[in-house]
Amino acid sequence: MAETIWFRDDSRPRKPRLSRERIVEGAVALLDAEGVAGFSMRALAARLGAGTMSLYEYVRSKEDVLDLALDEVIGEIAPEPAGSWRETLVRQLTQSRQVMRRHPWVPALTATRPLIGPNALARSRLVYTALADAGLSGPVLLAAVGALSSYVNGFVASENIWWAKVRTPAADAEIRERVVAHLGEHVSDLGRIAQVDNADFDGQFLLGLDLVLDGITHRLPPGSQGSRG
């Protein structure tokens, strides 16, 4: 794994024509348009109207830019608690999903690097503190964080792939209608319970998150703050 920018003191001299902030803004826009596979320092320089080598006056490598861009969009998630531990996690994870829907390249990067930029650390601290204040500790706390992260990342990854293929609600509805008809003809018992026509992604996300949080609540120590709230 390449050395991450967050382990270094890497302030570099700046010229008026470019800035690290402008480079990060351009990187986010390029990633939104082309994804990680289409990202390069040459393409970023072209978007900024600058020479490729001029970018290296502000950052050491492409990986530095990706680290900075990822932490920038993580900053779109509110860093404050929202009431109870459960309300805080619902808001954090709902906003995490929204960020990953706006920026579909985020899941690919979060799986390949430590999330230790200032924005990422603030949000991680909030999640860990919410679960610790609820009464979790040790391996159970770590497992709870992993379960929540896996649920959100998995849901959004599937959602992003689906919409990249289907693209419009009308196309989604047409596919669902055809699947419902197919199930009705071939496996009617499955058709009755599968609810394939349910296209409420928001509702399904929140319901699934509730199920995960219910499981976490079940593991809270009796008498803990979280088990009472």
- What band does 91 get if pLDDT is binned at 50, 70 and 90? very high
Looking at per-residue pLDDT, the higher value among 49 and 228 belongs to: 49
Instruction: Provide the residue count of the chain.
Output: 229
Number of domains in the chain: 2
What amino acid is encoded at 113 in this protein?
R
Whether residue 170 lies inside any domain: the answer is yes
Which residues, other chains included, contact 72 with Cβ-Cβ below 8 Å and sequence gap of 6+? 24, 25, 28, 119
Whether residue 226 lies inside any domain: the answer is no
Arithmetic mean of pLDDT, 17-45: 96
89 vs 126: CA distance, rounded Å: 9
pLDDT tens for residues 106-118? Answer: 999 998 999 999 9
Whether residue 104 lies inside any domain: the answer is yes
Q: What are phi and psi of 24, to 5 degrees?
A: -65, -45
157 and 135 in one domain?
A: yes
141 and 67 in one domain?
A: no
Of 96, 83, 97, nearest in space to 130 by CA:
83
pLDDT at 152: 97
pLDDT tens for residues 142-192? Answer: 999 999 999 999 999 999 999 999 989 999 889 898 998 998 889 988 888
Contact criterion met (CB below 8 Å) for 36 and 63: no
**Residue located via tokens 């996300």:** 205
Whether residue 211 lies inside any domain: the answer is yes
Whether residue 2 lies inside any domain: the answer is no
Containing structural domain, residue 91:
80-218
174 and 151 in one domain?
A: yes
196 and 121 in one domain?
A: yes
DSSP code of residue 13: -
Arithmetic mean of pLDDT, 81-92: 95
Angle between helices 201-218 and 138-166 (to 10 degrees): 170
153 and 86 in one domain?
A: yes
54 vs 101: CA distance, rounded Å: 32
Contact criterion met (CB below 8 Å) for 58 and 20: yes
pLDDT at 86: 96
Whether residue 10 lies inside any domain: the answer is no
pLDDT at 4: 84
Of 98, 23, 133, nearest in space to 67 by CA:
23
Residue 12 has pLDDT above 70, yes or no: no
- Residue 31 belongs to domain with CATH number: 1.10.10.60
155 and 203 in one domain?
A: yes
* Whole-number CA gyration radius for the chain: 21
Indicate the pTM of the whole model. 0.85
